Amino acid sequence: MNQIELKNVDKYYGKNHVLKGVNLAIEEGEFMTFLGPSGCGKTTTLRVIAGLEKPDGGIVVISGKEAANAETLNFLSPGKRGLNLVFQSYALWPHMTVYENVAFVLKVQKMPKEKIEENVKYALSLMQIEQYRDRYPSELSGGQQQRVAIARAIVSKPKVLLLDEPLSNLDAKLRLEMRSELKRLHRELGTTMVYVTHDQVEALTLSTRIAVFFEGEIVQVDTPLQLYTNPATLQVARFIGNPKINLIEGIAVNHGDMVSVHSILGSLEISKQEFEADFPENEQWECMLGIRPEHISVETVGTEESAVSIVTTMLAGSETLIEAEKSGQRIIIKQLGICNHQSGDRIYLNLSTDDINIFRRDSGKLIKKMK
Shortest CA distance to 308 belongs to which of 265, 337, 353?
265
Calpha distance 226→232 (Å, rounded): 9
- State the minimum distance, in angstroms, from the CB of residue 343 to another protein: 37
Shortest CA distance to 56 belongs to which of 69, 37, 40?
69
- State the minimum distance, in angstroms, from the CB of residue 106 to another protein: 9
Shortest CA distance to 292 belongs to which of 332, 265, 252, 319?
332
C-beta closer to another protein: residue 160 or 322: 160
Calpha distance 128→126 (Å, rounded): 5
- State the minimum distance, in angstroms, from the CB of residue 52 to another protein: 5
State which H helix or E strand residue 31 sits in.
strand 31-35
Calpha distance 195→168 (Å, rounded): 12
C-beta closer to another protein: residue 148 or 288: 148
- State the minimum distance, in angstroms, from the CB of residue 24 to another protein: 20
DSSP structural state of residue 130: G
- State the minimum distance, in angstroms, from the CB of residue 87 to another protein: 5
Q: How many CB atoms lie within 10 A of CB 242?
A: 8
C-beta closer to another protein: residue 18 or 366: 18
> Can you tell me whether residue 210 is helix, strand or coil?
strand
- State the minimum distance, in angstroms, from the CB of residue 284 to another protein: 52
C-beta closer to another protein: residue 116 or 331: 116
Calpha distance 276→246 (Å, rounded): 21
Q: How many CB atoms lie within 10 A of CB 258?
A: 12
Beta-strand relationship, 284-291 and 16-27: unpaired
C-beta closer to another protein: residue 105 or 245: 105
- State the minimum distance, in angstroms, from the CB of residue 149 to another protein: 8
Q: Assess contact for 91 and 146: CB atoms under 8 A.
A: no
C-beta closer to another protein: residue 148 or 248: 148
C-beta closer to another protein: residue 152 or 292: 152
- State the minimum distance, in angstroms, from the CB of residue 12 to another protein: 13
Q: Assess contact for 154 and 185: CB atoms under 8 A.
A: yes
Shortest CA distance to 55 belongs to which of 68, 41, 74?
68
Q: How many CB atoms lie within 10 A of CB 170?
A: 18
- State the minimum distance, in angstroms, from the CB of residue 224 to another protein: 28
Q: ω into residue 243 within 30 of 0, thus cis?
A: yes
* Dihedral angle of Cα 303, 306, 309, 315, to the nearest 10 degrees: -120
Where does this chain bind another protein (CB under 8 A)? 14, 50-52, 71-75, 77-80, 83-85, 87, 89, 91, 93-95, 104-105, 108-109, 138, 152, 156
- State the minimum distance, in angstroms, from the CB of residue 104 to another protein: 6
Q: Assess contact for 1 and 27: CB atoms under 8 A.
A: yes
Calpha distance 326→362 (Å, rounded): 24
C-beta closer to another protein: residue 93 or 255: 93
C-beta closer to another protein: residue 122 or 214: 122
Beta-strand relationship, 266-271 and 258-263: antiparallel
C-beta closer to another protein: residue 13 or 177: 13
